Amino acid sequence: MSLALVPRCSSGCCRRSVALMSRSLATARNEAIKSYDEIPGPKPLPLIGNAYQFVPFIGELGGMQIDDIHKYMYKTYGPIVKLSKIPGRSDLVFCYRPEDVETVFRNEGPWPHRETLQGIDHFRSVLRKDFYEGGGSILTENGQQWGESRSKVNQPMMQPRISRKYVPPIADVAQEFVDIMRNIRDEKEELPANFNNELYKWALESIAFVALDARLGCLAPNLAPESEQQRIIDAVNIALDKMFDMEVGPPFWKIIKTPAAKKFFDSLEVFLEVTVKYVQAAIDRYEARRRETPDGDWEPSVLERLLARTDVKTASIMAQDMMFAGIDTTSYSTAITMFTLARNQGKQEILFQELKRVLPKKDTPFNDERLEEMRYLKAVIKESMRVMPIVSANSRNTVKEVVISNYRIPVGVSVVMPNTMYRFSDGIYPQAKRFLPERWLKARPDGAERVGSTEDFDAVSHGKHHPFAFLPFGFGPRSCVGKRFAEMEMEILLAKIVRNFKVDYKYGDISFNSRIINTVKDPMKFKLTERME
């Protein structure tokens, strides 16, 4: 086993693992551990198992979105639920206690195993095997093969010194987008109903600069619907929407190509067709620069670092993975943060005061040091992601037998760990229904350069939440590899928005579709009023 693939213990990790083990042993002594078969849940039928559960008007879960499934499971069966014998799927165990989530993650091993995204895996290993065979992917692989692929991408994607060099160009993209926002407002100073698509363009332009070291031109005025940039956006949106139909319930699409499967595979084909062109152009630029400057006297980009550590095919696939995962996630999280600030004007004003101190003028240039000073901004984003998370759950397949909620879970079970169930729990978050960014501040905001409400900080600081109740980027070796860049993109854009505009929303609450990735359902017609200071 390569030492490079074994994750180092973070601060307190070993002590926490020993404590968990001690509690498990104490539980075992005081209460008999129950068998896997005793876990409550929907009962399978002969031959078809639990496949019928997802059929509308017949099964318990038919027609439900993911958030509704979790609410129903918890209310009906309790804090641990088993859904077994689904044809073509591993058994599912849903655990709704943060303590159990911690147990699962602490026992995931150096190569965490996650249930494969079967639709994407089928596309890459069967339908387009000609392109993907032999290339690495952190999106679809498991085991040691995943570990080897992840070790190659960790260094260019997760080192702070590398991500810092992208602050100025990402800030340029954000400023260009803020100027567009200013120009597309109507006479009421409101953004158009399709502002969501504009956010997609910003997200693609930002992550493509990281993945390809080039601007794609997504922010060009009057971008045509048939343009390559819009085709990428549409393809990702369709794929993520139809992924719910592909991944939830039995994979009947492997036998009969369903309408959802056709749209899903067609969208992945479009994404491959368009992105491979941009990836190849980036590789050609890299090869030309290497010929012109053979001594390598330049600061390599993320893609160039990938190319130096792996082959062209693997670098190309990893660049595709970054772009596929980096559009909806950052655009959604940015949209919900704008919404939570619009509905909490007092907190928006606190944030503005911080931004005015760090960025004295609207055009004050961004750098890494200024970004680090924006502590309240980081707290606002965290609190927004708590109340309206981007994903409903994390998951891991057990690689060894574990005990959760006093039930014995065998190897090979897919444990689903929802986080949406915790967001309004006062037992986990004091005053959970209130939007309080202060709960994420590390120090009481009473110093000259500390912003925030001391009253709200004191109201929530007595009860720190369980660390495994909030995992927007996952945990451990398989945590989100693009976390640093996603946070940087959101922080820079939101800082520029609030420094330039007072954000408001006049249309009540917004709803979202709870699928594999949550998306905003309602028009995001934010009102942006120019700030004069």
533 residues of the chain, pLDDT tens digit each: 333 333 334 344 444 444 444 454 444 445 689 999 999 999 999 988 998 999 888 999 998 988 899 999 999 999 999 999 988 889 999 999 999 999 999 999 999 999 888 999 999 999 999 999 888 888 888 988 889 888 888 888 888 888 889 999 999 999 999 999 999 999 999 999 999 999 999 999 999 999 888 899 999 988 899 999 999 999 999 998 898 888 887 888 988 889 999 999 999 999 999 888 888 888 888 888 888 887 767 778 888 888 888 888 888 898 888 888 888 889 999 999 999 999 999 999 999 999 999 999 999 999 999 999 999 999 999 999 999 998 888 999 999 999 999 999 999 999 999 888 888 888 899 999 999 999 999 989 987 667 899 999 999 987 678 899 999 999 999 999 899 999 999 999 999 999 999 999 999 998 888 888 888 888 999 999 999 98
Cross-strand pairs, 529: 502
CATH number, domain of 312, equals: 1.10.630.10
pLDDT confidence of residue 296: 65
Task: Compute the half-sphere exposure of residue 355: CA atoms within 13 Å on the CB side of its CA.
Answer: 29
pLDDT confidence of residue 2: 33
- 261, part of any domain: yes
Q: How far apart are CA 138 and CA 120, in angstroms?
A: 12
49 DSSP assignment:
B
Domain co-membership, 105 together with 224: no
Backbone angles phi, psi at 423, to 5 degrees: -60, -30
Looking at residue 427, its amino acid is G
Question: How many domains is the chain partitioned into structurally?
Answer: 2
Task: Compute the half-sphere exposure of residue 314: CA atoms within 13 Å on the CB side of its CA.
Answer: 21
- Its domain, for residue 264, covers 148-391+472-530
Domain co-membership, 194 together with 244: yes
Two structure tokens written together for 212: 């390809």
Task: Check: CB of residue 151 under 8 Å from CB of residue 4.
Answer: yes
Domain co-membership, 376 together with 404: no
pTM over 0.85: yes
Q: How far apart are CA 348 and CA 450, in angstroms?
A: 15
- 191, part of any domain: yes
Please report the beta strands in 53-105, taking only residues with DSSP state E, as ranges in sequence order: 80-83, 92-95
* Kind of pairing between the strands at 407-409 and 512-513: unpaired
C-alpha closest to that of 88 among 61, 52, 125, 51:
51
- 322, part of any domain: yes
Neighbours of 150 (CB within 10 A): 20
Residue 390 parent element (H or E):
none
pLDDT confidence of residue 307: 84
Could you give the 3-state DSSP secondary structure of residue 416? strand
Domain co-membership, 218 together with 332: yes
Domain co-membership, 381 together with 405: no
Looking at residue 245, its amino acid is D
- 447, part of any domain: no
- 133, part of any domain: no
Task: Give how far Cα 345 sits from Cα of 349, 453, 505, Å.
Answer: 6, 13, 10
Q: How far apart are CA 95 and CA 407, in angstroms?
A: 11
- 457, part of any domain: no
Domain co-membership, 296 together with 186: yes
Two structure tokens written together for 144: 């040691």
C-alpha closest to that of 167 among 211, 215, 201, 206:
206
Domain co-membership, 74 together with 94: yes
Task: Check: CB of residue 513 under 8 Å from CB of residue 519.
Answer: yes
- 29, part of any domain: yes
Q: How far apart are CA 145 and CA 148, in angstroms?
A: 5
Buried b / exposed e along 461-499 (16+ C-beta atoms within 10 A)? eeeebeebbbbbbbbbbbbbbbebbbbbbbbbbbbbbbb
Domain co-membership, 298 together with 223: yes
Residue 529 parent element (H or E):
strand 527-530
* Kind of pairing between the strands at 402-404 and 407-409: antiparallel
pLDDT confidence of residue 7: 33
Could you give the 3-state DSSP secondary structure of residue 79? coil
C-alpha closest to that of 480 among 385, 413, 405:
385
Domain co-membership, 353 together with 477: yes
Domain co-membership, 215 together with 356: yes
Q: How far apart are CA 119 and CA 269, in angstroms?
A: 12
Distance between alpha carbon 37 and the CA centroid of its chain, in Å? 33
pLDDT confidence of residue 63: 87
Domain co-membership, 105 together with 211: no
Two structure tokens written together for 343: 């509905």
Buried b / exposed e along 59-70 (16+ C-beta atoms within 10 A)? bbbeebbbbebb
- 451, part of any domain: no
Task: Check: CB of residue 426 under 8 Å from CB of residue 432.
Answer: yes
- CA torsion 200-203-204-209 (nearest 10°) is 160
58 DSSP assignment:
T
Domain co-membership, 88 together with 152: no
